[in-house]
Structure 1
Amino acid sequence: MRPALLLSGLSLLAAAPSALAQHVPGTPSLALGGEPCLGRSVRFELGADPGTFALLWLSASQGPTIGLPIGLPFVQVLGGLVPPSGQRFVANLSVPNDPSLLRQPVYHLAVGFDPARPQQGLLEGPSGVQTLCGPPTTIGDLVLIDDDMIDAGISTIIAAAARLGVASDVLVNDNNPVELGNPWLPWSTLGAGDIVTLPTGSVGDESIFALPAETPFTFQAFLAGTVPQPQLDNIANVMPLGNQELARLIGRTLVAVVKDGDYGINYNPLLANLQGARNGLLAFTVLGVQVPGRISESGNSSALYDLRVRIEGPIASARSLQVPVVDLSSDSMQITTARMQGNLLIVEATANSAPTGTLSFSVEGFSFESPMSFVAGSGSYRASLWSPISLAGRRITVSSDQRGAYTDTIQ
């Protein structure tokens, strides 16, 4: 029997090399099939050069990849010595339909070791994070979205439209905005099931908003788009969502009222202008959040998380998404240190919200919303994270609970 290690019920077998992934000589390769959702299966294919030890570490936890609490659900190791034939190791991970696992991040890290070249040490392969999503729902949480997230000019929307054979302005109804009514965007009917990455704006120019519990109009009238335009100005306590709020959307299905332009927000007092033309409604499930920078629209240092979403068909009903109301402009912050010191990542950041603000950091493909601590003597926040591989060159985002965010590159 081929050497392999199996924990927590993975179905493990060996298979012929797959065309799903291109193997890079000297490092392990990994192919994934399917989205990790409750009650579904995800297929992992791990390969490496013959005679190389290949190892894939899988974990579902609220901490970084390597801070793995053994015994939690979904802590598994897959791999072994790659035989002369080069056959790959395959794991089919069946995710239980357990609501307690919803929105858990699933981290994966592939490493290899060549006994013939021990001086190379561990060879880093693919790593990343996905999030356990739930089954499709018939009700969504209502949010407001502006054209920094949904617009005919967004690169991933242009690509989605090309796949579907339509113009991007038609896909998101940019060619026919309305001031009365809220039609479903054609994307909901033409592209249900599409999985795309979307930007969410930047600090001080957020793209997703939540309505307050109390409004001068009824919830159903707003959803239907029948509120007269004069009644849509000076709406109190409409909240823009920062990174830490975006992280809480993982696994949720949202129904978005998409505006053809920006929503105007003022502070002290917190008032929003919701007037203007709308593209209509779009439903999607948030599969995960990503450190910004994978798409052209989120490449600046103040960009908020990108959302990886699955487009849903029209949904029968919606409810209000409730978030805490904070009448403060977005936090100003900066990463002052993000560097590897041996196998230790050192992160330091400053924020105007110090010392009461709550800060967290995420590393591209490695950790998600890991906490930082305020160090009174230095006036800054600090965290460290051990890693068996160098994280240099990866993007890192530090976020605060007052909608601050800053992204830099690890040195």
Structure 2
Amino acid sequence: MKNSKIFYRLFFALLLAFSLSACSNDDDVDEGDDVTDDLTDDINGSDDDDGNGDGDGEPDPDAAAVFVFIDEESIDNGNEPNDFSETDVNDDISEIGQREVLAYFNENPGEEITLYTGQTGDEAWFVLKEIPGSWNEAGPNENGARNFLEAGPGLGQDQTEDLLDEISDITPLRATGLSMLTGQTIIAVVYDSDISINYDPLEGNLQGENLGVVAFEVLNVTERTDGSSSALPSVNIRILDYTAVEALELNLFSNAPMPESSSEPEDTTPPDTIPDIELSPAE
């Protein structure tokens, strides 16, 4: 009789442990879905059971994404700290005008990862402060940023890229600019090579093969202590479902700090007090 009681106690203890483990796993799976649901509510104005979204059938006016360009110094196969494979980052299908979502990002919404951002003079993240007029005229839309994201004529379509050279005021981001993106949703086109910059006047070349597109939220920006003295910060991000955010309005980072040269200011440490970001519609 005593042995029977011990057996049943062990049985129910194991059953309880299994049930708790299953619930925990469900929570992990649902976390990415919750992020996607909240973003979808913001886009279409719906309201779910948790009270997210406007609930009035109107999109959240604050729901928008910052338009960014990222090069191989941040996302590429073999790069630290993620050591992505070729297929993880679409390196096996890279081409001019590639706009497929990077495989790793497509398969892991909700996951938090860290990205490095290059070094002073060889930055990895870039923003525009104004959309070139030629992009607006290129089609198929009236919005030049959308035309670029859809690889319109001269912007990647059929391997054409004649509208992507000598782009004025394309701004490389160093520590202060990266820090100002904290909390922002990002939609980025990822390049399979370096984005080259001239500083006098400030302009860049956006020609070259693309790995595709990604979407994520910037969680925090921290100083790198494991790189060279010119290493720019690490950025912790949460991967977002691209299909959930691609319809968001696009914003330009209009007050991104402009570097004086390839070496000045060095700006490798996030500031204690982060300046407020100023955003303007990408049109």
**Smaller-chain TM-score range?**
0.5 to 0.7
Q: What is the match of residue 121 of structure 2?
A: 204
1:210-241 deviation digits (Å, cap 9, x = unpaired)? 02323131111111122131111111110111
Q: What is the match of residue 99 of structure 2?
A: 182
**Distance (whole Å) between structure 2 residues aligned to residue 244 and residue 148 of structure 1:** 18
Q: What is the match of residue 309 of structure 1?
A: 237
Give the TM-score normalised by the residue count of structure 1.
0.44
Shift of 1:172: 1.0
**Distance (whole Å) between structure 1 residues aligned to residue 63 and residue 146 of structure 2:** 16
1:146-178 deviation digits (Å, cap 9, x = unpaired)? 0000001113322xx5xxxxxx11111111102
**Distance (whole Å) between structure 2 residues aligned to residue 225 and residue 241 of structure 1:** 24
State whether residues 188 and 282 of structure 1, in contact with CA within 8 Å, keep that contact through their aligned partners in structure 2.
yes
**Distance (whole Å) between structure 2 residues aligned to residue 252 and residue 224 of structure 1:** 22
Shift of 1:370: 2.8
Q: Secondary structure at the match of 2:253?
A: coil
Corresponding letter in the other structure for 2:199: Y
State whether residues 200 and 304 of structure 1, in contact with CA within 8 Å, keep that contact through their aligned partners in structure 2.
yes
* Structure 1 residues 198 and 179, CA gap change in structure 2 (3 angstroms): same
Which structure 2 residues correspond to residues 71-90 of structure 1 after superposition, within 5 A?
Answer: none
State whether residues 156 and 196 of structure 1, in contact with CA within 8 Å, keep that contact through their aligned partners in structure 2.
no
State whether residues 151 and 157 of structure 1, in contact with CA within 8 Å, keep that contact through their aligned partners in structure 2.
no
State whether residues 198 and 306 of structure 1, in contact with CA within 8 Å, keep that contact through their aligned partners in structure 2.
yes
Is 1:278 aligned with 2:220?
no
State whether residues 139 and 316 of structure 1, in contact with CA within 8 Å, keep that contact through their aligned partners in structure 2.
no
* Structure 1 residues 236 and 155, CA gap change in structure 2 (3 angstroms): same
Give the TM-score normalised by the residue count of structure 2.
0.63
State whether residues 285 and 312 of structure 1, in contact with CA within 8 Å, keep that contact through their aligned partners in structure 2.
yes
Gaps of 5+ in 1: 1-33, 35-39, 41-96, 98-136, 162-167, 334-350, 352-358, 363-367, 372-398, 400-411
State whether residues 269 and 327 of structure 1, in contact with CA within 8 Å, keep that contact through their aligned partners in structure 2.
no
Shift of 1:186: 1.3
Q: Which has the higher strand share?
A: 1
Is 1:369 aligned with 2:271?
yes
**Distance (whole Å) between structure 2 residues aligned to residue 190 and residue 370 of structure 1:** 35
Shift of 1:308: 0.6
Q: What is the match of residue 90 of structure 2?
A: 173
Q: Which has the higher helix share?
A: 2
**Distance (whole Å) between structure 1 residues aligned to residue 206 and residue 163 of structure 2:** 9
**Distance (whole Å) between structure 2 residues aligned to residue 139 and residue 172 of structure 1:** 25
Q: What is the match of residue 337 of structure 1?
A: none
- 2:174 aligns with one of 242, 258, 279: 242
Q: What is the match of residue 154 of structure 1?
A: 79
**Distance (whole Å) between structure 1 residues aligned to residue 80 and residue 197 of structure 2:** 26
Aligned length: 199
Q: Secondary structure at the match of 2:106?
A: helix
Corresponding letter in the other structure for 1:322: F
Q: What is the match of residue 260 of structure 1?
A: 192
**Distance (whole Å) between structure 2 residues aligned to residue 156 and residue 268 of structure 1:** 33
Shift of 1:187: 2.0
Corresponding letter in the other structure for 1:213: E
**Distance (whole Å) between structure 2 residues aligned to residue 332 and residue 211 of structure 1:** 20
* Structure 1 residues 171 and 248, CA gap change in structure 2 (3 angstroms): same
Shift of 1:327: 6.4
**Distance (whole Å) between structure 1 residues aligned to residue 111 and residue 163 of structure 2:** 35
- Across the aligned residues of Structure 1 and Structure 2, the Cα RMSD in angstroms comes to 2.9
State whether residues 199 and 261 of structure 2, in contact with CA within 8 Å, keep that contact through their aligned partners in structure 1.
yes
**Distance (whole Å) between structure 2 residues aligned to residue 328 and residue 305 of structure 1:** 19
State whether residues 72 and 193 of structure 2, in contact with CA within 8 Å, keep that contact through their aligned partners in structure 1.
yes
Higher relative CO (Cα under 8 Å, sequence separation at least 6) belongs to 2
* Structure 1 residues 214 and 327, CA gap change in structure 2 (3 angstroms): farther
Q: Secondary structure at the match of 1:157?
A: coil
**Distance (whole Å) between structure 2 residues aligned to residue 310 and residue 199 of structure 1:** 14
* Structure 1 residues 139 and 183, CA gap change in structure 2 (3 angstroms): farther
Shift of 1:139: 4.0
Q: What is the match of residue 143 of structure 1?
A: 68
**Distance (whole Å) between structure 1 residues aligned to residue 82 and residue 259 of structure 2:** 33
**Distance (whole Å) between structure 2 residues aligned to residue 239 and residue 323 of structure 1:** 10
Shift of 1:284: 0.9
Corresponding letter in the other structure for 2:238: R
Q: Secondary structure at the match of 2:104?
A: helix
State whether residues 213 and 320 of structure 1, in contact with CA within 8 Å, keep that contact through their aligned partners in structure 2.
no
